[in-house]
Structure 1
């Protein structure tokens, strides 16, 4: 399993963008321009209201208290969107956290913002590998339960191995480690 970091967050957002070309917003984001990103923000402003979206928008646009958000977005200078375009088109490899969060909002990346992403369980590298691991764990567990040797006990169990100690007679102890 992969550990989730800000780098994996950035990578997954970019992968979703490349895979879906903006998803629902592909009319604006397929070949993004400054004007199209601004228009996408205006169109989504009252349509995409997940729990943390207001904070994402406030961080990027830096709305003033009581300010009309649509008006504030309309008067945002187009240059503010240029780093987003550069990132999405591959001209740059990184962007600011505020830009990345706005992109996550625009493409509807479900595990946004970063603080929520980091709290979600890491996904397995390979789904098949996880299934095999679960089958092996069940098989080994069943086999250990079938062992009918006196004084046999599992002394350590992890997701990758089981350590069993068996005492055949008073002078002979056998330790077995089974890798899953």
Structure 2
């Protein structure tokens, strides 16, 4: 029965991929991306019923006290069969990776899926109480009610026997199961159309959130993630350093020895127009490729290590930074946010109105 579950999980993955419903980590598969997706889903929707599945996959020997550490220290090569299973549809020996990918995609757990399958099977698939041993209808004295001749009665009985054989009933059950699968697919497709409505509204509010984030700052990243056991190196992500194991390979990244002072304090300032005279003595800069980049700490440039970061001066501040330009940008974003909010509310009202009227959307 697990083979059927495995097949449905794979079909669900390809369905979500074709309808663009997968997260970026699952859309373009990779071992490191699978680890990141596990940490993300763990933070978003962890519940106690997930403990057993997570422990059996990430920490069968119970080395760690929490799931975050077990995922962070999980060997990336052990994700390889799961990547091959999803990317190429190759067979996978163990059950736990299949249960993990179902959890990542918000598919039914195996227990829930099995319960649903067992409770949805028709009663006559068990070949019991199906009328195979039933006697023909008789009158009060046990004689057949039909006045037809003996040959026609024999033909009717033969046809009834053919319809009630185990092979015929098994064929009916398989047909019903096939119809159930098609019904599930139809429901999924209908659900995807309703999801489109939600996606449109979500995109609107996502743009709203992005605008608010841009308006309120977005200047630097938050607190740095502290290194775990064995992470003695770090790499530059584009605006901050991230701790990593020295033997781990990161695409297009140069690993450097871990420096807690640099890890915790050095950030790239993404919105340089937010800098003011109060930033003097607190900000450093460097010119790379004809453009000025600003940082929250001194030291060498994270990418071009031959250049040292210089303290921000009044001359650089006045020539390359414009706080008025930042205020103008905020004003434009504020207007955009208001317009998108009005459109979002109008879309919600429109969809609710169509739903109330029973009109078909899309």
TM-score over 0.5 (shorter chain): yes
- RMSD (CA atoms): 3.6
* Structure 1 position 25, deviation (Å): 4.6
Secondary structure of the equivalent of 1:32? Answer: coil
Question: Does 1 or 2 have the higher relative contact order (CA < 8 Å, sep 6+)?
Answer: 1
Q: Are the structure 2 counterparts of residues 52 and 164 from structure 1 closer, same or farther at C-alpha, using a change threshold of 3 Å? A: farther
- Per-residue CA deviations over 1:30-56 (Å, capped at 9, x if unaligned) read 121001100000111132234531111
- Per-residue CA deviations over 1:81-121 (Å, capped at 9, x if unaligned) read 111001001252224111111111111112x1x33322223
Distance 2:136 2:41 in 1: 58
Distance 1:100 1:18 in 2: 14
TM-score by length of 1: 0.63
Q: How many residues align?
A: 143
Unaligned runs of 5+ in 2: 123-128, 146-152, 164-362
TM-score by length of 2: 0.34
Distance 2:51 2:22 in 1: 19
* Structure 1 position 69, deviation (Å): 2.2
Q: Are the structure 2 counterparts of residues 9 and 33 from structure 1 closer, same or farther at C-alpha, using a change threshold of 3 Å? A: same
Match of 1:41 in 2: 38
Q: Are the structure 2 counterparts of residues 48 and 102 from structure 1 closer, same or farther at C-alpha, using a change threshold of 3 Å? A: same
Q: Of Structure 1 and Structure 2, which has the larger fraction of its residues in helix?
A: 2
Distance 1:99 1:85 in 2: 10
1:55 equivalent to 2:40? Answer no
Q: Give the counterpart of 2:143 among 172, 175, 179.
A: 172
**8 Å CA contact 1:40, 1:106 repeated in 2:** yes
- Per-residue CA deviations over 1:115-146 (Å, capped at 9, x if unaligned) read 3322223557xxxxx9xxxxxxxxxxxxxxxx
Structure with greater Cα Rg: 2
Q: Are the structure 2 counterparts of residues 173 and 78 from structure 1 closer, same or farther at C-alpha, using a change threshold of 3 Å? A: same
Distance 1:120 1:87 in 2: 25
Q: Are the structure 2 counterparts of residues 26 and 121 from structure 1 closer, same or farther at C-alpha, using a change threshold of 3 Å? A: same
* Structure 1 position 171, deviation (Å): 6.8
* Structure 1 position 7, deviation (Å): 0.9
